[in-house]
Chain A
């Protein structure tokens, strides 16, 4: 009985995904009535240079934003960790978490006001800045536990042996927290790849990411190019999951990462 329930849940969770994948091979051109097997939609996808540019944009934004967010996030985590006063620490931590708990719509709308007030032109740059901004707190949260796990005697020992402050950071602290850094970078990457709502607000006319593009395609109705695209994305996600699985196996975090 309980087996059946679990199987049912798995079926429901995966059904829409396999549904998309299945119809991406339909020569009929709709998501009902399978007419015959074809790879035409994939061919069309790869010939659609506009879409390929959007995919490229999405990847570039994801990689760049996670890179910057990771660097700033590491410093943030180091800073928060070195705070002596409990209250300062807690204040910083709650400020850190504001963007994580805020609904995407609010982040998007408030960033839109911010960029307009600051005179930042909406487009690639504003999207990049927002992605960096909402990824930083995730990196901090992934790095902090590693820092508090680290024994302070490790740093004392390094200093006694004559290591400079810089050496302590690069030779002792950073290697120790590397798994946390990777996990943070990876989470930032998936947040950025997945984001729709924030990007939707802060993107201008000339620049789109994949999520925003899929939204506008879906509003126009069904087109099996999107199915082909989602099949490829599904495979890509699986690869990412496997990579993350191996990172976290080394890292042993306290629970699986999930986006909001």
Chain B
């Protein structure tokens, strides 16, 4: 009996937090999604969501998130693999992680200078004879900066799963006559698939919802679901439509979580 009371006392502030800041916000978003901009109860937001404008936006948001995840993966897997081969690998990993601790906005701001009309990237292009180009406010700069920002989050889980792998398995594969490529395809990659999955999870979901980068780097040319939510909440004040998009983003999030396995170890 006494045990139960103490336990409930422990849990009280925590339970209040769960109700107020986890359950209530989700329900409120759902509730608001049923109100139009004048505050009348209606399903008009859901109807609007299935019009070409929003479907196209959802599709392009997915496309960008997919590209960002794919490119991050292509860069991160070999990096993580090579990191596990270095001496002092924990130190090198730490050095990979450090840039991710620098404020995101500052990194985005740096790219304003690098990709600017007279920036260092354009000086380089001119020096090699390509000539000055508009780099900032293009799809390229958006994807480049996003990949730049997400790489450490992709490397970390892949590094961890590669690091946990038993090296004896590689020797065994080698003894059994497997080529390097076969060993990778049949042994290493399947064993690290969990790391890859959580890596994709921690990149794909945030990539759907980035909104500061679309404003700063893509110059509003790219609209992700996150940008649309921000726009509806803070600019047009159409909370209903914003909530509807948020509802779909939450559903997508749960779908991705169930596809990539429910283990989020990014923290």
> Could you list which residues of chain A lie within 8 angstroms of chain B, going by C-beta atoms?
2, 5-6, 9-10, 12-17, 19-20, 23, 30-33, 71-73, 75-76, 78-79, 82, 92, 95-114, 117, 133, 136, 138, 140-142, 165, 187, 190, 193-194, 196-197, 200-201, 210-211, 214-215, 217-219, 221-222, 226, 230, 233-234, 237-238, 240-241, 245, 255-260
Chain B, residue nearest A191 (CB): B267
Separation in Å of the B69 CB from the closest CB of chain A? 14
Q: Specify which chain B residues have a CB less than 8 angstroms from the CB of A230 in the assembled complex.
A: 102-103, 106, 109-110
B265 near A75: Cβ-Cβ < 8 Å: no
Q: Mark B196-221, 1 if CB is under 8 A from A, else 0.
A: 00000110011011011001100000
A218 near B109: Cβ-Cβ < 8 Å: yes
Whether, in the assembled complex, B57 has its beta carbon less than 8 Å from a beta carbon of chain A, the answer is: no
Whether, in the assembled complex, B67 has its beta carbon less than 8 Å from a beta carbon of chain A, the answer is: no
Separation in Å of the B158 CB from the closest CB of chain A? 12
Q: A16 with B148: in contact, given A32-B120, A214-B103 (CB under 8 Å)? A: yes
Chain A, residue nearest B123 (CB): A32
A72 near B22: Cβ-Cβ < 8 Å: no
Q: Specify which chain A residues have a CB less than 8 angstroms from the CB of B22 in the assembled complex.
A: 95-96, 98-99
A103 near B105: Cβ-Cβ < 8 Å: no
Q: A114 with B119: in contact, given A75-B11, A196-B105, A237-B98 (CB under 8 Å)? A: no
Q: A12 with B94: in contact, given A20-B110, A110-B246 (CB under 8 Å)? A: no
CA distance A217 to B160 in the complex (A): 38
B211 near A105: Cβ-Cβ < 8 Å: yes
CA distance A19 to B2 in the complex (A): 61
Question: Besides A105-B225, A210-B103, A258-B156, 4 other CB < 8 A contacts?
Answer: A14-B99, A100-B266, A101-B257, A113-B32
From the candidates A12, A222, A257, name the one contacting B113 in the complex (CB within 8 A): A222
Whether, in the assembled complex, B169 has its beta carbon less than 8 Å from a beta carbon of chain A, the answer is: no
Q: Specify which chain A residues have a CB less than 8 angstroms from the CB of B116 in the assembled complex.
A: 31-32, 222
From the candidates B2, B14, B101, B110, name the one contacting A75 in the complex (CB within 8 A): B14
CA distance A98 to B265 in the complex (A): 13
Q: A112 with B233: in contact, given A16-B107, A98-B26 (CB under 8 Å)? A: yes
CA distance A119 to B22 in the complex (A): 18
Q: A110 with B26: in contact, given A79-B7, A190-B101, A233-B103 (CB under 8 Å)? A: yes
Q: Specify which chain B residues have a CB less than 8 angstroms from the CB of A10 in the assembled complex.
A: 95-96
B10 near A16: Cβ-Cβ < 8 Å: no
Separation in Å of the A171 CB from the closest CB of chain B? 16
Whether, in the assembled complex, B239 has its beta carbon less than 8 Å from a beta carbon of chain A, the answer is: yes
From the candidates A12, A215, A257, name the one contacting B267 in the complex (CB within 8 A): A257
Stretch at the interface among B36-44, B48-56, B80-88, B177-185: B80-88
CA distance A217 to B100 in the complex (A): 21
A79 near B264: Cβ-Cβ < 8 Å: no
CA distance A193 to B10 in the complex (A): 28
From the candidates B10, B109, B111, B148, name the one contacting A226 in the complex (CB within 8 A): B109
A105 near B209: Cβ-Cβ < 8 Å: yes
Sample 27 A-B pairs with CB under 8 A, ordered by A number. A2-B82, A5-B78, A9-B79, A10-B95, A10-B96, A17-B110, A32-B123, A73-B14, A75-B13, A76-B10, A76-B11, A79-B10, A82-B10, A103-B209, A103-B249, A109-B230, A190-B101, A196-B104, A197-B211, A200-B230, A211-B104, A215-B212, A222-B113, A222-B116, A256-B94, A256-B156, A260-B206
Separation in Å of the B261 CB from the closest CB of chain A? 13
B114 near A19: Cβ-Cβ < 8 Å: yes
Q: Specify which chain B residues have a CB less than 8 angstroms from the CB of A95 in the assembled complex.
A: 18, 22-23
